[in-house]
Amino acid sequence: MASIAPRKRTGATRQRTSTHEGFLTHRNLFWAKLSAALAVALIALYIFVPLPGTHFGSSWLGYTLGTIGALLILWLTMLGMRKRAITPGRWSLKGWTSAHVYLGLCLTVIGTLHSGFHLGWNVHTLAWALMLIVIASGIFGIWVYATLPQALSSNRYDEEGAITEKQMIEALRSLDRQIHDAAQPLDPETATLVGKSLDEDPFAGTFWNRITGTYPKCATRSTAAELRRIRAYRPRIANDPLDKVDALLTRKEAMLGRMRRHLKLKSWLQAWLYVHVPVTFALIAALSAHIVSVFFYW
């Protein structure tokens, strides 16, 4: 998200004053207030406006809510296209995202009131349920966007400064080369063990491994453990190549752990979209079926 440069620089302090304004607080919560007002107004309409029959999708209020809801869903989906064009100003991408979030939350009220609380095992309720799944995954997305980037940054920082993704893999490569060289004097048994660590793909692992950050079959760790077990029964000698390999493997393990934490955080940041986006399209399909069916069996 774009940061606004501090207006005044007094020079008195070097401390950086962040004036970053995220999409959640954009324009002093304009869209949040608008959506809340809309939701309250619609609930009031629902409660207080007299209708000739019961509350149902086919009352004038129902049709109005349904039309607003359907158009809103299509507009919300447009964020996928809009986000690829970043523009500043009133209709900035940030403003758009802010509206997406808060109007999307408001959609729970619109959609549910449109249902008139008549839910059943049918395509209409399917559309409603898919809508809720999309919104719930979106809420989850907001939560991870609001909390995880800080953890992501702190994981990348150490005493030597920040490390980029490219530097992470480069560090691993460098360690691997050093391990390779240090392991040359080893006997076939231990060399094979070290080879397993080198042959391991640092990005391997299932989605589950990524999202939990647990890699029970990590070759580097098992190599290090095995080497230590072997060394434990050997007499200590000066310049034992295993010492060096062990030290290097420990460093690799640390680096790998850091990268995997990075991967875990990034997975959490991305995974919700794998629900949010496909279910949105399922929702649009169900919405189409809902609308067609209503007119089909008019």
Partner 1 sequence: MSFLVRQIALKSSGEEIVRPTTVEGDVLTIGRDAACDIHLPDLAVDPRHAQVTRQSDGSLVIASIGAQPFEVNGRSTTQSPLDPVAGAELTFGGHRISVSVDAESGEATFTVRRVEAVSDSAEDKDITTVYTLKGLLPGKRMSAWTFAILVLVSFLAFPIYSYMTYKPLAMQEKARRPDGFHADQTWSSGPLSLAHKNLGGDCQACHTQAFVAVTDKACLTCHTKDAHDHIADKSRLLKARGEPEGMARLQRAVATAFNRPAGRCVDCHTEHEGAGAMPATQQQFCADCHNGMKSRLGDTKLADAADFGTAHPQFKPMIISGMNGKKPLFQRASWTPGLTENNGLKFTHGQHLSKTNGIAQMVRRMPGRFAANDALQCKDCHKSDATGTRFKPVVMEDSCQSCHSLSFDQVGGTFRTLRHGEPELVVADLRAFYRGGAPARPANLSGLARRVPGDAALRSTAADYARAVRFYPTRAEQAVAQVFSQGGMCYDCHTVNRGGSMASGGFTVQPVAQNDRYYHKGWFDHKAHNKSDCADCHVNAATSNKASDLLVPGIDGKGGCRSCHVGGEGAKLASVSVKDPVDSSCAMCHSYHMDAGAPWAPKKDRKKDVAQTVAVAERPRFPVKLR
Pick 22 or 241: Cβ nearer partner 1: 241
Phi and psi torsions of 287, nearest 5°: -65, -45
Q: Is 281 in the site for partner 1 (CB under 8 A)?
A: yes
Distance CA 4, CA 21 (A): 8
- Asked if residues 133 and 66 have their Cβ atoms less than 8 Å apart, the reply is no
Enumerate residues 116-155 that contact partner 1 by CB under 8 A.
Answer: 118, 120-124, 126
Q: Is 267 in the site for partner 1 (CB under 8 A)?
A: yes
Q: Which of 24, 72, 132, 191 binds partner 1 (CB under 8 A)?
A: 191
What is the nearest approach in angstroms of partner 1 to the Cβ of residue 134?
11
First and final CA of the chain: distance in angstroms? 47
Q: Is 297 in the site for partner 1 (CB under 8 A)?
A: yes
Q: Is 84 in the site for partner 1 (CB under 8 A)?
A: no
55 DSSP 8-state letter: S
Stretch that binds partner 1, among 98-106, 141-149, 150-158, 186-194 (CB under 8 A): 186-194
Residue type (1 letter), 38: L
235 DSSP 8-state letter: P
Enumerate residues 165-184 that contact partner 1 by CB under 8 A.
Answer: 165-166, 169, 172-173, 176-177, 179-181, 183-184
162 DSSP 8-state letter: E
Stretch that binds partner 1, among 12-20, 28-36, 147-155, 203-211 (CB under 8 A): 203-211
Q: Which of 13, 18, 81, 199 binds partner 1 (CB under 8 A)?
A: 199
Residue entry with tokens 């999307």: 104
Q: Is 59 in the site for partner 1 (CB under 8 A)?
A: yes
What is the nearest approach in angstroms of partner 1 to the Cβ of residue 193?
9
Q: From the CA atom positions of the chain, what is the Rg in Å?
A: 28
Distance CA 87, CA 27 (A): 16
Q: Is 78 in the site for partner 1 (CB under 8 A)?
A: no
Q: Is 194 in the site for partner 1 (CB under 8 A)?
A: yes
What is the nearest approach in angstroms of partner 1 to the Cβ of residue 283?
8
Facing residues of 157 across strands?
Answer: 162
Site residue total, partner 1 (CB under 8 A): 72
Residue entry with tokens 């076939």: 188
Pick 8 or 84: Cβ nearer partner 1: 84
Distance CA 168, CA 156 (A): 9
Distance CA 92, CA 105 (A): 20
